[in-house]
Amino acid sequence: MSHRTPRLRRHLGWIIALKLIALTLLWWCFVRDARVGVSPADMARQLAPNPVVQGAPHGQ
């Protein structure tokens, strides 16, 4: 069965290479130019949605 191993590896290598090429082409055609604008205020609100205000009484 060892004579089939190099053939199988070569076959799987070609399949993986073709899949990588296909994924790269799909990314290049559809995703490459997509951008999402994020402002610093939006990012701060996402990371700390309920910031604690200094000096504010607790429980009010």
- Give CA–CA dist 17/12, Å, rounded: 9
Question: Going residue by residue through the chain (60 aa), what tens digit of pLDDT does each one get?
Answer: 567 789 999 999 999 999 999 999 999 999 999 888 889 988 888 888 776 666 656 555
Distances (CA, A) of 24 to 8, 11, 19, 32, 45: 24, 20, 8, 10, 34
Residue 36's pLDDT is 87
Buried b or exposed e, range 2-25, using 16+ CB within 10 angstroms: eeeeeeeeeeeeeeeeeeeeeeee
The predicted model scores a pTM of 0.53
What local confidence, expressed as pLDDT, does residue 50 receive?
Answer: 74
Q: How do the domains of the chain map onto residue ranges?
A: 1-31
pLDDT (0 to 100) of residue 56: 57
**According to the model, what pLDDT value does residue 47 have?**
87
